[in-house]
Each structure stands twice: as C-alpha cells, then as structure tokens.
C-alpha cells in the first residue's frame, strides 16, 4: 500500500474532565499495569484496569471503579509484566533470583475479596534475555496464546490448549537482533477465515507471523525493516471495534505514526516527536508526544477517517491511557505523593461538534460525522447540506451546490433553495432541482409554472447564443440579431409578470454587452420595436434609453413623442429627457431658452432640477428662479437659494467633463429614482473610460520611467566610485575646533573630519541630522546647487554613502567593549 502523509486541520471535538473519586497508586509504586484491548458488553464482570505494585499486590478495578486487591499465593517478589485476556484471565511474569521467570494465569471471573483469584495455569522457564513485553489472549476458550518479548530479539511463545503446567509447551523463537518491545495478536473467528496472526515490533523492524498449534510460528513477513528510526510504541486496532472492518497495527516513531496490515505498510500520519503512548478510541487515534527539553507530553487526538486533529493538550507527567469504546481515561502523576490523577477524555455532544465544524466550513467532515452517528436522512443532516450548498454557491461551484440542495428535498422548504437559483445563469441548475422535487412531491400550479418559465428561459438563451453578434459581419445580419433580442425582451416583459425581473435582467445584460457596438451600424431595429405600446411603463423604455445614451437626438425625439402621447407619465421620463436636452445644449443643437421652457412647462421638482443643471453647468435655471423671486416678491424659496449657493460654492468643478459617461449617469439616475441598487454592469463604462485614460497616460509615464532609469545608472556609477576606489583620509585635525583628532572621530567621504563631541554638539544644538557641517553650509550658500542635488534621485545613494563613511566608528566601539552610557544627548548617528 502507498504511504500517504496527511496534513491535519484542527478543531476541538473533545473535552476533558477530572475524575476525583478514583484512587490509583502513585506511579513510583506501580511495577506494571494492563487493561483489556477488546471491549465487550456481554461480559458478566467487566474489568477496566489491573495494576501490579512493587509489593506484590494485584489491584483489580471494575467498570464502576470498585477495587479488589489480592496477592499471588506464591508470595514471590514484584510482578514485572502482566496482560489481561478477553475472557478476564490475567497472565503475569515474575522474575526470580536464578534468572528464570514464573508465568501464572489467574481467573479473575472467580475473584473474591477474601480468597482473591485462583491460579488456573502456570509455567517456569529460563529466558535467554530480560523480558520486556507480554501479551496473552484466548480463542473460543479453547486455545490459549501467550508471548513474551525479550531484549535480545527472541520470543517465548505458547500457542495451544491450556494445561495446569504448560512449561513444556513454551518455545523460544528468534525474530531479529533487536529488542522486542511490542507483541499483538489478531485472531480471526469467522468460519471462512481462521487465520491467526501475531504482529511483533522490535526497536528496529516490524514483523508478522502465522501461528499454528504447538507454539509454531509458520511464516514470517517483514513489514518494515527501516533502521533509520526507532519504534517507540505500538498498539493494535482490532476489527469489530466501532464497526471497523479491518485490523491495523499502529507503530509510533520519532518522525511519524505508521500503520501496518498483514499485506504491508499502510497510511502514515505525520506527527513528529518521541511517542510516549498510543491508544485507539473508536475511530480516533490518541498519540502522546514527549518533549524532553521542556519535559512535557502533548496529547493529540486524531480523527484518522476525516483527517483532522480533534483535541490537543499538554501534560506535565503523562503516565498511561485507558481506552474505552467512546472515551478514554488519562492517568497522570499527582501532587499527592500517594495517588495519581485520573482525567476522562470524552467527545462533545453531536450538536456541539457539528456547530464547531460548520463554523470552520468543514461541511464534508460534519456530514461524515453525522453519517457515522446514524443521522443519514434527518433534518439536522439536511440543514448542514443546505449550509454546505450555500458555501459552494458562494465559491462558484454551482453544480455541487445543486447536488447538495437536491439532497435536502423533503426537509428544507423549496423557496429557500429556489430563491438562491433564480438568476438566469443558474437556470439549468434550477431546472434540475425542480425536476428532482417533482419526482418526490406533488406538483402544484406554482411549481409547474416555474418549470415552464425555466424551460422558456433555456429556449431564449439558446436562441441568443445562436444569434450572437460576433458571428455576423454584414449590417443585415446584425439588424436581424438586434431585432430578435428586442422582440424577445418585450415579449417576456409583457407576457408573464412573474419572470419579468429575472428575464429582463438577463436580456438587458445581453444588450449592454453587444448593443452599443452594434448600434453604430444601424438604429432602425430599435425604432421598429420600441413603440408607444411598450412604453406604458417607464422601466421598459428607460433600459433602452440607457443603452442609446450616445444617440442624443434619437433618444430625445423618442422620449418627447412618448411624453406627448402619455401626458401623465412617470417623472423619470421627464428627467431622462432633460438630461438629453442638456447634452444637445452642450453641442449647440438646442438653445438654453428651449431647455428653460421645457423645465418651466413640465414643472419638474426644483431641487432635482438644480442638481442636474449644476452637473451640466447650466446656470440659466438658477438665474431665472432668482429673477422670478425678485419680480413676484416671494421669499418662500430661501431653501432653494441656499441649495444653489452651496452647490456653486462647494462644487465649483462639478460637471460631466468626460470623466463619467452619459450612459452610466443615466443608468444610475434610473436606479436612484426607482430605489434600486446600482449594479457593476451599469457603471462598466466608468471603468472602461478610466482604463483608456490610464493607457493614454501610461505613454507619458514610460518617458518618465526612462528618465529615472538614466538617473539610476548615473547614481550607480557614482556609488561604484565610492565602494571600489580607496580614499585616503589625510586630515589630522577637527574641522570645527581644529584640535588633533583622537580615536572618537568621525570621517566623511567629502574629506572632512570631526571630533565626535563637536559634531554631536553642533547637530544637537541645531536639532539637525548628523551631516557634514562644512558641506551643508556650502549647499546653503548655493541654493541652485542644493535644489538640483535634492531633486536628483541620487539622494538615496548619497545617504547610503554617508552611512558607509562613518562605518569605522562601529568597529572602534566594539573593540572598546560596548556602547557608552548616554549623557542625555540624543544623536541621530546610526552607530551611536
């Protein structure tokens, strides 16, 4: 199998609480401990933990944390190793003084406070090295497997039927030349698969063996023989735990955590550091990483299925972990010298975990977690899918968003989804959602009508794509294209009011994209389609007027005819016509009196009229209003006078001088009058004009860049003279006090030298930077020369040269032994 190094995201899905009522001996008193690797709820007495102390006592803790303590009848010294089988048999290893080991098997099912637990089997053997690890288990209560790992790489194995004394059935096998630090059994009990496997981890190397009766290790598979890293800890995840199908061995190394199956090495989890402990809790892998420098252990909980870190916390002294089905106990050293602290690490509630995952946009992980917990078709899952669909919609992945929306049918109201897919560009996806909704629900008239509208929109879109103006070259073909778009526009706006906002928007975008360029060829198409019948509502005609804004004569005549035919029309039409008259007035096509008479005849709102007039620098309106007030003697228009005065005084340069196109201004005027939002496509000409202006200005900027490049070349040559040519300093006196120079001296590249104290005093007194006094005085005397020097781009080079010029002072101060104490005088010298 391929190795996959995973990068982990982090979210806290676990919490940790103290268990103060449990008392466990201090770690200094514990010689060994064990707990069942496989959890079973059918056992009569569920044993949670077994601890063997250095006094020979065996402490047995049950599921309710009741404890029974007993001793072995043999009364030997402290037990070195212990292991608990799936049927509550305890196997122990006790060394003796003759380098031998006593193996005893206790039946904890018959444990009592008075008599303890009886010994059902025992053995004695002489190992070839020190025992390091022990594992024992049973198969169907018939076969008993016991393996002891030794320090020289050998294994003592018993595999077969259990007898009172099984010393003769123990065989010694050689695995490798490195110490064995982990043994794990993987017994298959299915009728079709009775393979019995034993994994062995050494300090260097991972192996797999097939077991047979009479303690035979039949086949050896080398799963890993990497000698570059040491194997610290190992743990077995058995099949059947939390509905897991395959068993897997996990080995912790300094660089990562590696997984193995009998077929070979599996995935790799990149968690660096020495592994102090490993444990499985359901789908979660718990890793304890030891930091020897800080003497702390970081407990990390990994969700190996969803590839995230779900908990992380540091402990000062972590001892071991007792894993359960859905939680685990963390045992740490306590301040109390006679006991350990026990903490319970458990998952948050499912709703809390889902909320945390959704907040971090981990929707896929949230859905997998709901599926794992059995929430497949529930309102909770549908809500997460709906939020996931919104997230995908914002990212632009419409296809996947629609798939998630479809899975919410039956739980989320259709309106919540349909309202998000009403845009014309989402028409295909909306049609797919409605089709799936129709399969699962009774179709109402509204949904049928919406499906018909979507189908019609698809037909219009198809026709528009076929009639793309880019495919036509002759004026006749363009006329046909424009006629088709215009007829479709008015047909959809008059036939069905339900689809007007969406279809009108879609077709208007098409006209904005291709209309202005095509209008330069011919205008008759719009004349034939924009009629008085279609102008009963201003929103239809104003959209086309915005596109035709460059054709002032045509738009003015068309609006004038419409206003004449419909005297009681929308005020927006009058203001549109006023804007066109202003444009014609600017090019001397209509007179100022004509415009003034139009304003006076139609009694437009005075405040809006003044603002629009000011934008087009049309002052006849304000003058006429002022004269009218004088003639009539009215004083009730003081507000208008103040408005006009403020507009004139504060906005003297406000006018449409080409910076804002007429089309964009009309679009914004239409939107502001109807309380609509100004959309980006409506102000597209503003950005277009600005871009063209920047292209024109860039030609002048290129010339400036060329001039600056020439100055940079001259400055570089000047700097090379300073850096490459040696300069001999001949001054031996200070140019300020004319006394002999000492070690605390400052030299400039201009061949002037000063005492440090003199220069600091002058600069501080004048509150100036640390510069050459003489050269600065010369520059002040010659202002022309000073101005040229400051304007030149070599100022930066000169400043750098100044810093280089006083560089030897730093070396002198370092040789003396550090920075001198300040006397309250602040110097701008960078080496002070």
List pLDDT tens digits, range 666-710. 555 555 555 455 555 555 555 565 555 666 566 677 778 888 888
Measured between alpha carbons, how far is 89 from 580 in angstroms, rounded to an integer?
Answer: 99
Long-range pairs for 356-363 at CB < 8 Å and ≥24 separation? 356/11, 356/12, 356/13, 357/11, 357/13, 358/384, 358/387, 360/9, 360/11, 361/391, 362/9, 362/11, 362/308, 363/387, 363/388, 363/391
Question: Among the three residues 464, 497, 526, which one is the final residue of a domain in this structure?
Answer: 464
Measured between alpha carbons, how far is 33 from 41 in angstroms, rounded to an integer?
Answer: 22
On whether residue 562 sits in a domain, the answer given is yes
Tokens (6 digits) for 109: 């099912």
Q: What is the pLDDT of residue 691?
A: 59
On whether residue 348 sits in a domain, the answer given is no
Q: What is the pLDDT of residue 684?
A: 57
Segments forming the whole domain that contains residue 590: 537-627
813-825: average pLDDT:
41
Weakest mean pLDDT among 84-93, 99-108, 163-172, 449-458 = 449-458
Q: Which residue has the tokens 């909770």?
A: 380
Is the pLDDT reported for residue 532 higher than 60?
A: no
Is the pLDDT reported for residue 106 higher than 90?
A: yes
Q: What is the pLDDT of residue 625?
A: 54
Phi–psi pair at 598, nearest 5 degrees: -65, -45
What sign for the dihedral angle of Cα 222, 227, 228, 229? positive
Q: Tabulate helix, strand, coil % of the chain (nearest 5).
A: 40, 25, 35
Weakest mean pLDDT among 57-61, 209-213, 387-391 = 209-213
Q: Give per-residue pLDDT as tens, 586-636.
A: 888 888 888 888 887 877 777 677 777 766 666 665 555 555 555 544 444
Residue 285's pLDDT band (cuts 50, 70, 90): very high
For 253, residues 6+ apart whose C-beta sits below 8 A from its C-beta are: 229, 230, 231, 232, 275
Tokens (6 digits) for 220: 């050896």
Tokens (6 digits) for 561: 């005819």
Q: Give per-residue pLDDT as tens, 429-469.
A: 999 999 898 888 876 777 788 888 888 778 767 766 665 55
Q: What is the pLDDT of residue 690?
A: 57
Measured between alpha carbons, how far is 797 from 647 in angstroms, rounded to an integer?
Answer: 50
Measured between alpha carbons, how far is 158 from 174 in angstroms, rounded to an integer?
Answer: 14
Measured between alpha carbons, how far is 490 from 531 in angstroms, rounded to an integer?
Answer: 10
Q: What is the pLDDT of residue 449?
A: 80
Q: Which residue has the tokens 């630090």?
A: 181
For 724, residues 6+ apart whose C-beta sits below 8 A from its C-beta are: none
Q: What is the pLDDT of residue 540?
A: 59
On whether residue 572 sits in a domain, the answer given is yes
Name the burial class of residue 766, with classes exposed (0-12), middle (13-18) and buried (19+) by CB atoms within 10 angstroms of its CB. Answer: exposed
Question: Among the three residues 608, 627, 646, which one is the final residue of a domain in this structure?
Answer: 627
Give me the half-sphere count of Cα atoms (radius 13 Å) on the Cβ side of residue 38.
Answer: 23
Of residues 484 and 437, more confidence is placed in 437
Q: What is the pLDDT of residue 360?
A: 92
Is the pLDDT reported for residue 403 higher than 70?
A: yes
Q: Domain check: are 370 and 457 in the same one?
A: yes
Measured between alpha carbons, how far is 231 from 247 in angstroms, rounded to an integer?
Answer: 19
Residue 640's pLDDT band (cuts 50, 70, 90): low
**Which of 141, 78, 150 minimizes the C-alpha distance to 107?**
141
Question: Among the three residues 627, 659, 681, which one is the final residue of a domain in this structure?
Answer: 627
Of residues 79 and 721, more confidence is placed in 79
Strand partners, 318: 332
Is the pLDDT reported for residue 364 higher than 50?
A: yes
Strand order in the sheet with 340-347: 14-18, 340-347, 327-333, 318-323
Helix (H) or strand (E) holding 336: none
Measured between alpha carbons, how far is 22 from 64 in angstroms, rounded to an integer?
Answer: 10
Number of structural domains in the chain: 2
Measured between alpha carbons, how far is 832 from 806 in angstroms, rounded to an integer?
Answer: 11
Q: What is the pLDDT of residue 635?
A: 43
Is the pLDDT reported for residue 51 higher than 60?
A: yes
Q: Domain check: are 369 and 457 in the same one?
A: yes
On whether residue 436 sits in a domain, the answer given is yes
Q: Give per-residue pLDDT as tens, 703-748.
A: 788 888 888 888 887 777 666 665 555 667 777 777 777 656 777 7
Is the pLDDT reported for residue 555 higher than 60?
A: yes
For 752, residues 6+ apart whose C-beta sits below 8 A from its C-beta are: 731, 735, 772, 773, 774, 775
Phi–psi pair at 83, nearest 5 degrees: -150, 140
Tokens (6 digits) for 261: 């199956």
SS3 647: helix
On whether residue 799 sits in a domain, the answer given is no
Q: What is the pLDDT of residue 652?
A: 46
Weakest mean pLDDT among 479-483, 488-492, 759-763 = 488-492
Q: What is the pLDDT of residue 238?
A: 80
Q: Which parts of 587-683 fold into alpha helices (H)?
A: 592-602, 606-615, 620-632, 638-650, 662-673
User: Are 819 and 831 contacting, i.e. CB atoms less than 8 angstroms apart?
Assistant: no
On whether residue 207 sits in a domain, the answer given is no
Arithmetic mean of pLDDT over the chain:
75
Q: What is the pLDDT of residue 199?
A: 94
Q: What is the pLDDT of residue 478?
A: 56
Q: What is the pLDDT of residue 538?
A: 55
User: Are 285 and 257 contacting, i.e. CB atoms less than 8 angstroms apart?
Assistant: yes
Is the pLDDT reported for residue 567 higher than 50?
A: yes
Q: What is the pLDDT of residue 582?
A: 83
**Which of 526, 511, 589, 521 minimizes the C-alpha distance to 553?**
589
SS3 828: coil
Is the pLDDT reported for residue 160 higher than 80?
A: yes
Is the pLDDT reported for residue 409 higher than 80?
A: yes
Q: What is the pLDDT of residue 656?
A: 42
380-403: average pLDDT:
93
Q: Give per-residue pLDDT as tens, 7-43.
A: 678 899 999 998 888 888 888 889 999 988 766 544 4
Q: What is the pLDDT of residue 829?
A: 36
Q: Domain check: are 367 and 455 in the same one?
A: yes
Q: Which CATH number is 448's domain given?
A: 1.25.40
Long-range pairs for 525-534 at CB < 8 Å and ≥24 separation? 525/479, 525/482, 525/483, 525/486, 526/482, 526/486, 527/558, 528/483, 529/483, 529/486, 529/487, 529/490, 530/486, 530/558, 532/561, 532/562, 532/565, 532/566, 534/490, 534/493, 534/494
Tokens (6 digits) for 668: 């914004």
Q: Which residue has the tokens 């004349």?
A: 527
Is the pLDDT reported for residue 125 higher than 90?
A: yes
On whether residue 405 sits in a domain, the answer given is yes
794-822: average pLDDT:
45
On whether residue 507 sits in a domain, the answer given is no
User: Are 542 and 572 contacting, i.e. CB atoms less than 8 angstroms apart?
Assistant: yes
Q: What is the pLDDT of residue 494?
A: 41
User: Are 325 and 40 contacting, i.e. CB atoms less than 8 angstroms apart?
Assistant: no
Q: Domain check: are 364 and 459 in the same one?
A: yes
Is the pLDDT reported for residue 657 higher than 50?
A: no
């Amino acid at each position: 199998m391929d190795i996959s190094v995973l990068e982990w995201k982090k979210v806290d899905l676990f919490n940790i609480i103290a268990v103060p009522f449990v008392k466990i001996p201090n770690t200094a008193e514990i010689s060994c401990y064990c707990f069942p690797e496989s959890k079973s709820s059918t056992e009569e007495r569920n044993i949670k933990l077994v601890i063997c102390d250095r006094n020979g006592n065996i402490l047995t803790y049950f599921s309710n944390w009741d404890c029974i303590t007993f001793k072995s009848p043999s009364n030997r010294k402290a037990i070195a190793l212990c292991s608990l089988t799936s049927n509550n048999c305890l196997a122990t290893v006790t060394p003796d003084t003759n380098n031998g080991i006593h193996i005893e098997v206790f039946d904890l099912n018959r444990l009592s406070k008075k008599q303890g637990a009886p010994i059902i089997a025992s053995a004695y053997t002489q190992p070839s090295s020190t025992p390091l690890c022990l594992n024992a288990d049973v198969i169907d209560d018939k076969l008993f497997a016991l393996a002891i790992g030794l320090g020289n790489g050998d294994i003592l194995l018993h595999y077969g039927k259990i007898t009172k004394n099984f010393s003769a059935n123990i065989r010694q096998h050689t695995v490798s030349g490195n110490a064995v630090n982990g043994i794990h059994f993987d017994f298959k009990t299915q009728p079709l698969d009775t393979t019995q496997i034993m994994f062995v981890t050494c300090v260097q190397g991972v192996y797999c063996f097939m077991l047979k009766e009479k303690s035979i290790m039949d086949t050896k598979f080398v799963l890993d023989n990497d000698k570059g890293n040491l194997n610290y800890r190992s743990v077995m995840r058995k099949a059947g735990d939390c509905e897991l199908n395959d068993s897997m061995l996990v080995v912790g190394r300094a660089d990562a955590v590696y997984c193995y199956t009998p077929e070979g090495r599996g995935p790799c989890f990149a968690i660096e550091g020495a592994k102090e402990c490993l444990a499985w809790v359901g789908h979660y892998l718990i890793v304890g990483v030891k930091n020897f420098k800080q003497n702390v252990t970081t407990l990390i909980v990994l969700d190996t299925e969803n590839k995230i870190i779900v908990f992380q916390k540091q402990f000062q002294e972590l001892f071991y972990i007792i894993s359960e089905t859905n939680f685990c106990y963390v045992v740490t050293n306590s301040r109390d010298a006679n006991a350990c602290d026990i903490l319970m690490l458990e998952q948050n509630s499912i709703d809390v975990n889902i909320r945390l995952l959704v907040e971090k946009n981990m929707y896929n992980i949230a859905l997998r977690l709901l599926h794992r917990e059995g929430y497949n078709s529930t309102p909770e899952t549908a809500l997460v899918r709906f939020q996931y669909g919104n997230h995908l919609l914002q990212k632009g992945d419409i296809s996947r968003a629609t798939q998630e929306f479809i899975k919410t049918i039956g739980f989320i109201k259709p309106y919540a989804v349909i309202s998000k897919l009403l845009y014309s560009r989402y028409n295909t996806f909306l049609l797919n959602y409605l089709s799936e909704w129709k399969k699962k629900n009774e179709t109402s008239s509204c949904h049928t009508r919406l499906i018909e509208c979507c189908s019609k929109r698809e037909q219009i879109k198809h026709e528009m794509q076929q009639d793309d103006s880019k495919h036509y070259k002759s004026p006749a073909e363009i006329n046909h294209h424009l006629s088709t778009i215009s007829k479709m526009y008015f047909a959809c706006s008059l036939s069905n009011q339900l689809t007007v906002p969406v279809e009108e928007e879609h077709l208007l975008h098409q006209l904005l994209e291709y209309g202005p360029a095509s209008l330069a060829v011919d205008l008759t198409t719009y004349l034939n389609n924009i009629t008085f019948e279609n102008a009963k509502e201003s929103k239809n005609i104003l959209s086309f007027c915005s596109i035709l804004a460059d054709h002032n004569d045509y738009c003015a005549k068309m609006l004038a005819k419409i206003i004449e035919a419909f005297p009681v029309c929308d005020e927006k039409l009058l203001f549109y016509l006023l804007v066109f008259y202003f444009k014609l007035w600017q090019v001397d096509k209509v007179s100022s009196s004509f415009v003034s008479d139009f304003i006076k005849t139609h009694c437009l709102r005075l405040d809006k009229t003044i603002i629009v007039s000011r934008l087009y620098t049309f002052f006849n309106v304000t003058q006429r209003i002022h004269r009218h007030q004088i003639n009539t003697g009215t004083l009730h228009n003081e507000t208008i006078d103040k408005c006009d005065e403020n507009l004139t005084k504060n906005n003297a340069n406000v006018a449409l001088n080409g910076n804002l196109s007429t089309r964009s201004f009309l679009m914004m005027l239409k939107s502001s009058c109807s309380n609509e939002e100004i959309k980006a496509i409506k102000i597209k000409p503003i950005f277009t004009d600005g871009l063209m202006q920047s292209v024109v200005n860039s030609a002048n900027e290129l010339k400036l860049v060329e001039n600056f490049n020439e100055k940079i070349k001259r400055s570089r040559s000047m700097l090379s003279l300073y850096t490459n040519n040696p300069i001999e300093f001949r001054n031996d006196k200070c140019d300020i006090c004319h006394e002999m120079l000492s070690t605390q001296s400052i030299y400039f590249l201009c061949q002037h030298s000063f005492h440090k104290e003199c220069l600091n005093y002058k600069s501080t007194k004048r509150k100036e930077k640390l510069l050459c006094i003489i050269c600065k005085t010369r520059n002040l005397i010659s202002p022309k020369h000073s101005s040229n020097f400051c304007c030149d781009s070599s100022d930066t080079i000169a400043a750098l040269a100044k810093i280089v010029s006083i560089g030897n002072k730093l070396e002198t101060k370092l040789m003396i032994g550090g920075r001198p104490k300040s006397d309250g005088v602040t110097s701008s010298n960078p080496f002070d």
